[in-house]
């Protein structure tokens, strides 16, 4: 075990056991030097008076060794402690040898065991205890068997001899100093350790309290973020479900205001000239007034104008000192405001404006949620615009198709040589136009007509439609009092299939007619091409036209006056 290299004053709050052992050794050595000096001279005088010169030399060597290990700082801890233990054992051995049980040998031997345990630990202490037992046993056997002569009474401590009392008292003080120093260092070290542990416990308690507070704060923050994400999810769901732009904007800003407990929310859309941001939806009574007067802000005007002009959000944490904020008299309680651009791809199409009655109301997490909602609004508006454009085009196409179908059937009916109105009654088919009011009614309203009759003359009339254009009516009179659902479904199916069959037949006839026309044109052209003279060409043209078209007269006249 090495002596600590640093000063004990800069040790950590809880020192290692080696520190306490070093402190104990240092105090014991300093005390032993002081008391040992007195003991050495008094003991030497007593021994010299008794003629024990050898013991004086032993004590002198011990004293010198004590001085060396005390004042030479380079001597390692293990050497100092070992020398001290050896000195104690030598003193114990010499005391037993000199005086047996009547001397100080047993006290030194006990001190040897205790100090070994203090300085080197339990294992070495147990080993020193074994050595002490062996030493006692050795002297007990030696004195009992006469191997060591029993000291004469003259050499034993004399109660009436003052010098022996002095020597014994000094030895007692020395041993007491060693033990008291050991116990004091141990007790002080233990007390410091306890105080340090209490301090650490207090620090840990404070840290635990702070940690719990931080955890609680973090939990609240996470709970708040979870609520914000849930609100954003609900708003996004509303955005996804709504395809009407006007209804979408109204519902979304209402949810933003209610769910986040904001003061006011509006949506502005950039006009076609990209000069103004026009309000399209707004909350509360103030919003109704703003909508009624068609409120708008020029690019760069207010937070909304800044957002649509620069394509970035703008915050007024305190509108009372913000120079960009547009002070709206309809919203006097506004204390903070944020305007977030509605951006689809790289184009800014508007802005989401949100206002609060609290200063610094828009933190980073709120801004992220509002930006997410703004992106959803922009995407939904773009999709709704595209859908509306497609619906408009589809309506135009359907309208054109209906007009084309109507004209086609009008031309077909006018050019047809057959009567296309048919009446089946009493097992006979009559081709004539009916004057039944049911048919005229269905033609006008273009919806089915169902009439129950107690006279068993119920009516089922369905319009015959092609591309939503009514071209006729299928009118049935049934001999029942009530028209059943099965009858209605069957007549509807027949009407639908009849319309398809009629349209196909018309197209086939039209195709055949065009084919015949092309064949006639080709026949006339072939005859004309066979001639090379103008007169023959004119004759052939007139003759072929008359034959092919069955006309009674064909006139071809070249106007020479206009040439």
Q: Any long-range contacts for 174-181 (C-beta under 8 Å, 24+ apart)?
A: 174/31, 174/32, 174/35, 174/36, 174/39, 175/107, 175/108, 175/111, 177/28, 177/31, 177/32, 177/35, 178/28, 178/31, 178/32, 178/111, 178/115, 179/111, 179/114, 181/24, 181/27, 181/28, 181/31
Structural domain total, the chain: 3
CA dist list (Å): 73 to 29, 67, 77, 79: 12, 11, 9, 11
- 259 with 350, same domain? yes
Q: What is the pLDDT of residue 13?
A: 44
Residue in 284, 292, 255 with CA at minimum distance from that of residue 376: 255
Which stretch of DSSP H or E encloses residue 288?
helix 284-292
Within a domain: 394: no
State the residue range of the domain holding 356. 242-389
Encode the chain (563 residues) as per-residue pLDDT tens digits: 444 443 343 334 445 667 777 777 787 778 778 777 877 777 777 677 766 677 777 778 878 887 888 888 888 888 888 888 888 888 788 878 877 777 777 888 888 888 888 788 888 888 988 998 898 888 888 888 888 777 665 555 554 455 555 555 555 566 666 666 666 666 666 667 777 777 788 888 888 888 888 888 887 777 666 666 776 676 666 666 666 777 778 888 888 888 888 999 999 999 988 899 999 999 999 999 999 999 999 998 989 999 999 989 999 999 888 888 888 889 999 999 999 999 888 889 999 999 999 999 888 888 888 888 888 888 888 887 788 888 888 888 777 777 877 777 777 777 766 656 767 676 666 666 666 777 788 878 888 888 887 777 788 888 888 777 787 888 888 888 888 888 888 888 888 888 888 878 878 887 887 887 788 778 777 777 777 777 777 777 777 777 777 777 777 777 666 55
Question: Domain with 517 in it: what CATH number?
Answer: 3.30.450.40
- 157 with 252, same domain? no
Query: Which of 180, 202, 224 marks a domain boundary?
Result: 202
Within a domain: 70: yes
- 17 with 136, same domain? yes
- 14 with 103, same domain? yes
- 247 with 123, same domain? no
Going by C-beta distance under 8 Å and a sequence separation of 6 or more, which residues neighbour residue 227?
A: none
- 174 with 280, same domain? no
Q: What is the pTM of this model?
A: 0.47
- 385 with 429, same domain? no
Within a domain: 544: no
Within a domain: 178: yes
Residue 26 near residue 182, CB atoms below 8 Å:
no
Give SS3 for 454. coil
Within a domain: 45: yes
Within a domain: 540: no
- 337 with 192, same domain? no
- 287 with 333, same domain? yes
- 104 with 30, same domain? yes
Residue with tokens 């050991």: 182
- 71 with 184, same domain? yes
Within a domain: 500: yes
- 73 with 140, same domain? yes
Within a domain: 444: yes
């Amino acid at each position: 075990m090495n002596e600590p290299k640093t000063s004990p004053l800069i040790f950590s709050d809880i020192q290692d056991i080696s520190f306490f052992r070093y402190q104990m050794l240092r105090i014991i050595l300093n005390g032993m030097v002081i008391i040992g000096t007195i003991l050495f001279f008094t003991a030497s005088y007593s021994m010299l008076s008794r003629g024990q010169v050898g013991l004086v030399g032993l004590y002198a060597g011990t004293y010198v060794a004590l001085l060396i290990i005390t004042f030479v700082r380079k001597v390692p801890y293990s050497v100092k402690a070992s020398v001290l233990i050896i000195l104690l054992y030598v003193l114990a051995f010499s005391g037993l040898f000199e005086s047996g049980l009547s001397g100080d040998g047993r006290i030194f031997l006990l001190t040897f065991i205790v100090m070994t345990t203090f300085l080197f630990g339990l294992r070495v202490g147990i080993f020193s205890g074994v050595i002490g037992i062996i030493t006692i046993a050795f002297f007990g056997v030696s004195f009992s068997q006469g191997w060591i002569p029993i000291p004469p009474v003259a050499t034993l401590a004399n109660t009436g001899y003052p010098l022996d009392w002095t020597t014994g008292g000094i030895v007692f003080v020395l041993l007491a100093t060693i033990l008291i120093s050991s116990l004091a260092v141990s007790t002080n070290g233990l007390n410091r350790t306890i105080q340090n542990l209490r301090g650490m416990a207090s620090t840990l308690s404070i840290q635990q309290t702070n940690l719990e507070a931080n955890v609680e704060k973090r939990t609240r923050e996470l709970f708040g973020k979870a609520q914000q994400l849930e609100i954003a999810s609900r708003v996004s769901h509303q955005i996804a479900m709504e395809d009407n732009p006007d209804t979408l904007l109204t519902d979304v800003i209402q949810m933003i205001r209610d769910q986040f407990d904001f003061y006011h929310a509006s949506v502005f859309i950039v006009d076609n000239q990209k000069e103004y941001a026009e309000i399209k939806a707004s909350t509360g009574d103030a919003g109704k007034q703003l909508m009624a007067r068609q409120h708008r802000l020029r690019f760069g005007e207010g937070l909304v104008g800044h957002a649509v002009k620069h394509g970035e959000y703008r915050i007024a944490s305190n509108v009372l000192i913000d120079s960009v904020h547009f002070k709206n008299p309809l919203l006097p309680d506004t204390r903070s405001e944020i305007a977030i651009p509605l951006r689809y791809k790289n184009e800014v199409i508007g802005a989401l404006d949100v206002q609060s009655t609290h200063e610094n109301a828009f933190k980073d997490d709120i801004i992220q949620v509002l930006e997410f909602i703004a992106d959803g609004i922009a995407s939904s508006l773009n999709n709704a615009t595209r859908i509306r454009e497609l619906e408009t085009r589809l309506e135009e196409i359907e309208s054109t198709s209906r007009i084309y179908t109507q004209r086609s059937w009008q031309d077909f009916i006018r050019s047809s040589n057959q009567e296309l109105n048919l009446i089946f009654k009493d097992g006979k088919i009559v081709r004539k136009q009916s004057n039944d009011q049911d048919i005229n009614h269905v033609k006008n309203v273009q919806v089915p007509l169902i009439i129950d009759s107690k006279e068993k003359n119920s009516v089922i009339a369905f319009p015959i439609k092609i591309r939503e254009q009514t071209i006729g009516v299928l009118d049935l009179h049934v001999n029942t009092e009530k028209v059943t659902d099965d009858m209605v479904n069957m007549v509807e199916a027949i009407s639908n299939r009849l319309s398809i069959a009629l349209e196909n037949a018309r197209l086939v006839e039209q195709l055949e007619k065009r084919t015949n026309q092309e064949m006639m044109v080709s026949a006339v052209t072939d005859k004309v091409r066979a001639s090379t003279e103008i007169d023959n060409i004119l004759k052939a043209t007139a003759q072929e036209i008359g034959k092919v078209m069955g006309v009674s007269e064909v006139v071809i006249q070249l106007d020479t006056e206009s040439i």
